[in-house]
Structure 1
Amino acid sequence: MDLTEILETYGEQVARQWAERLHDEVSNGYASRPFDELLATTSQASEANFAAIAHGDFSKIDAFIVKVCKLRLEGGFSLSEVQKAFEMYRTILVPILLKELKDEDLLDALLSLNSCLSRTIFAFSDYFLNMANARLIEKQKKLDEDLKAAAGIQQCLLPQKEEKRPKVENLEIEWKFTPSETIGGDIFNVIHLDGDHLGFYMIDVSGHGVPPALVTFSISQTLQPQMGYTVRKKPGFSPDYEIVPPGEVLQALDTEYPWERFEKFLTVIYLIVDVRHGRLIYSNAAHPPPILLHVDGTFELLEKGGTIIGLGGILPFEEEEKAISAGDKILLYTDGVFEFSDSKGELFGEKRFHALVKSLHGLRIGAILDGIVQGIENFAQGEKLQDDVSLLGIEFKKRDQDG
């Protein structure tokens, strides 16, 4: 079957499963709605998605957004509940596509699905927020709750808490995140590419609040391995997948997120660590360069790459490979860790930040991050941070002799 036939064949099944999961998994708001109402809504949404994915016709989705935004906003639903409900469509349809399609047909279908949902979720969010802003005076308390819920979603996109984090042999991973507003434009995470390789990314979108947070949400979904940007399927080969090099990943993001779409500066660092063989490869899209801190206290800046994302490939995204040894550490960060001032207006700056990192080199990575945060707080002396502060640290442990 081709994509159109799949959507037609499985349409009713997807709509029913979607309604059941909305009722059971999303929130009390959905659980309290009659199932027949939810089924009618998901059936209409499925038809709208079919027109968009199969024929590029978003008119039914636009009409659906107007109807559902009014229904859910007046029903007291939060933006985060509606976003989660719509994103659930992807989790239902992807396994069907994986079962029915292969090779380029599968990749094209996944790209069409992702493009549809990215556009829809952004349009949905914009419309929802415009309606909420129109009622700002009488709905201020509710809007604050929505922002807190959105911050909760953003927190879910960060690496897992330690007690839930999968154990990775030879690596210790720690992170810190402090948004300057309730929600912000920074995001980072760890991607399990296969048994030997991990991907690490950090993204900084200019601005604060909901718009940049929505951009980071979209990109974090795009970088998930099943989306085909970081891991590419190769049916018939052994192994039947290929890890996409960092330069190609950034090039794909450059195409997917053009400047004209958001009119925001977007920087990204993406690196892949080969845990078994002790190597890393990275590419940097105008992001503050990560620090490779060696056990003797010397450090290198990982600067190879290209321009900010969205400029249409005016320069290639160069890559660089590095060998890593036991005791080495990598520190990823955004410019919020040094672009802030104290009460006298003195800038913390990169030079002071690098000196602080060097002074902490003998500590474990978690203690290093704690020391950086303490150094920032000591310098700021209670002043409000002007930007998000994001830190992601990686420490390389002694590898097995046979590794």
Structure 2
Amino acid sequence: MNLADILQKYRDHIALKWAHRLHEEVSSGYARRPLEELLQTTSQASEANYAAMVRGDFSKVDAFIVKVCKLRLEGGFSLSEVQKAFEIYRTILIPILAKELTGDALLEALQSLNACLSRTIFAFSDYFLNMANAKLLEKQKKLDEDLQAAAGIQQCLLPQRQEKSRKDEDLEIEWKFTPSETIGGDIFNVIHLDEDHLGFYMIDVSGHGVPPALVTFSLSQTLQPHMGCTIRKKPGCTPDYEIVSPGEVLTALDLEYPWERFEKFLTVIYLIVDIHHGHLVYSNAAHPPPILLHADGTFELLEKGGTIIGLGGVLPFEEEDKAFSAGDKIIIYTDGVFEFTNDKGELFGEERFHALVKSLHGLDIGAMLDEIVRAIEGFAQGEKLRDDVSILGLEFKKRIPAA
């Protein structure tokens, strides 16, 4: 009896035993497949192996590899599972060959078996990995597209660079935003409260990527005037609205975004600026204190407030009033502007940041923010920033009366 005769004689026995062992021994993935499906697969594999081992024709093996790769990859099987499945064929066939053949005939049959399985397993492994990588690349491409779309949405939540209306002529607003990932956990914006008042907020949600970005989106919607958090309706009164104080706004956020809900730390600074009368009021929920930079280069830190958002009102959110004059500026920022190191492990730090801002007091607000970003990039020396960098700058100007 030769190898061809043996494979023909034991064809059905090998296919059935192979299917049963796949179902019972390899993995839960194979155990979940119907036995009839596995038997059909092992029968096709046995025929392909016959053509390869007896006639040296690997075309059926190659066709089988393409089919089973797609089947198992889509079924969530790992490469090691399928490699183990192929090896079972060897353990079934060797005892049969040892029983039916001896001497050189047995040696030649074993060599044919090993050549067939080596070619099959290597070819399958390459094909499987190529298909898996292609699938991963496709998923990554889709993920990147989704992240880019999300980043576009996040950009829409930032102040828009549009021509300022006449009520903003006393104030110049500039900003810089560089997320450490495609999308970040920082958000800031300007709220038009009425003809005299603008609201400014900056929020830093712990973490990076999609989860904190979703929280920032929710927060930005909550702070929209029509949501009732920053402006309270008063029907029948004149005016028919009331601007909600910064302390009350932070208290509302503290109740709406408890730690247990998102498991994210939230720091917030919220200011209300009377742009025509040189006055502001603010409250700070553990956010890095904004800098009120006076025209002469002296500055104050806006630190009054309370704890991080989400602790359930353990401390009240205090407020503070400040007056400002023409030439004064306010720099609002997140800790990403100073909590980073260069390639030597040196920390940029708050002290360096404050000194930098003070040294730039003579520039207009746009040029000042450009220089701050340039200094940050120069200090980092190409190192990737580990946190989002957000800076919002306000410069108070005198109104020029119309001729």
Which residue of structure 1 aligns with residue 348 of structure 2? 348
Partner-residue secondary structure (3-state), 1:207: coil
How do residues 91-130 of structure 1 correspond to structure 2 at under 5 angstroms? none
Q: Post-superposition shift, 1:401?
A: 7.8
Amino acid at match of 2:300: E
User: Aligned equivalents of 2:379 and 2:299: distance in 1?
Assistant: 23
Larger radius of gyration: 2
How do residues 25-104 of structure 1 correspond to structure 2 at under 5 angstroms? none
Instruction: Decide whether aligned partners of structure 1 residues 153 and 314 sit closer, same or farther in structure 2, where only a CA change above 3 A counts.
Output: same
In 2, are the aligned partners of 1:291 and 1:300 still within 8 Å (CA)? yes
Amino acid at match of 2:244: V
Which residue of structure 2 aligns with residue 81 of structure 1? none
TM-score, reference length from structure 1:
0.65
Deviation larger for 392-401 or 332-341: 392-401
User: Aligned equivalents of 1:224 and 1:328: distance in 2?
Assistant: 27
How do residues 189-228 of structure 1 correspond to structure 2 at under 5 angstroms? 189-228=189-228
Q: Post-superposition shift, 1:247?
A: 0.1
Instruction: Decide whether aligned partners of structure 1 residues 283 and 136 sit closer, same or farther in structure 2, where only a CA change above 3 A counts.
Output: farther
Which residue of structure 1 aligns with residue 389 of structure 2? 389
User: Aligned equivalents of 2:254 and 2:373: distance in 1?
Assistant: 32
Amino acid at match of 1:264: K
Partner-residue secondary structure (3-state), 1:267: strand
Which residue of structure 2 aligns with residue 186 of structure 1? 186
Q: Post-superposition shift, 1:330?
A: 0.2
User: Aligned equivalents of 1:146 and 1:283: distance in 2?
Assistant: 35
1:376 paired with 2:376, answer: yes
In 2, are the aligned partners of 1:136 and 1:143 still within 8 Å (CA)? no
Instruction: Decide whether aligned partners of structure 1 residues 400 and 322 sit closer, same or farther in structure 2, where only a CA change above 3 A counts.
Output: farther
Q: Post-superposition shift, 1:293?
A: 0.1
Instruction: Decide whether aligned partners of structure 1 residues 365 and 342 sit closer, same or farther in structure 2, where only a CA change above 3 A counts.
Output: same
Q: Post-superposition shift, 1:400?
A: 5.9
Identical-pair percentage? 83
User: Aligned equivalents of 1:138 and 1:183: distance in 2?
Assistant: 20
User: Aligned equivalents of 1:324 and 1:399: distance in 2?
Assistant: 14
How do residues 142-153 of structure 1 correspond to structure 2 at under 5 angstroms? 142-153=142-153
For residues 24-80 of structure 1, give each alpha carbon's deviation from its aligned partner in whole angstroms, at most 9, with x where no partner exists. Answer: xxxxxxxxxxxxxxxxxxxxxxxxxxxxxxxxxxxxxxxxxxxxxxxxxxxxxxxxx
For residues 68-113 of structure 1, give each alpha carbon's deviation from its aligned partner in whole angstroms, at most 9, with x where no partner exists. Answer: xxxxxxxxxxxxxxxxxxxxxxxxxxxxxxxxxxxxxxxxxxxxxx
Amino acid at match of 1:213: A
How do residues 225-240 of structure 1 correspond to structure 2 at under 5 angstroms? 225-240=225-240
Which residue of structure 1 aligns with residue 309 of structure 2? 309
User: Aligned equivalents of 1:359 and 1:374: distance in 2?
Assistant: 14
User: Aligned equivalents of 1:268 and 1:194: distance in 2?
Assistant: 22
Instruction: Decide whether aligned partners of structure 1 residues 383 and 202 sit closer, same or farther in structure 2, where only a CA change above 3 A counts.
Output: same
Partner-residue secondary structure (3-state), 2:287: coil
For residues 258-305 of structure 1, give each alpha carbon's deviation from its aligned partner in whole angstroms, at most 9, with x where no partner exists. Answer: 000111110000000001211000000000000000000000000000
Instruction: Decide whether aligned partners of structure 1 residues 136 and 210 sit closer, same or farther in structure 2, where only a CA change above 3 A counts.
Output: farther
User: Aligned equivalents of 2:376 and 2:385: distance in 1?
Assistant: 10
Which residue of structure 1 aligns with residue 250 of structure 2? 250
For residues 209-253 of structure 1, give each alpha carbon's deviation from its aligned partner in whole angstroms, at most 9, with x where no partner exists. Answer: 000000000000000000000000000100000000000000000
Q: Post-superposition shift, 1:139?
A: 1.5
- Could you list the runs of 5+ residues in structure 1 that have no partner in the other structure? 1-134
Deviation larger for 186-195 or 138-147: 138-147
Which residue of structure 1 aligns with residue 322 of structure 2? 322
In 2, are the aligned partners of 1:297 and 1:358 still within 8 Å (CA)? yes
Matched pairs, number: 267
Amino acid at match of 1:368: M
Partner-residue secondary structure (3-state), 2:207: strand
Which residue of structure 1 aligns with residue 300 of structure 2? 300
Partner-residue secondary structure (3-state), 2:284: strand
For residues 151-176 of structure 1, give each alpha carbon's deviation from its aligned partner in whole angstroms, at most 9, with x where no partner exists. Answer: 0000000000244x545120000000
- Could you list the runs of 5+ residues in structure 2 that have no partner in the other structure? 1-134
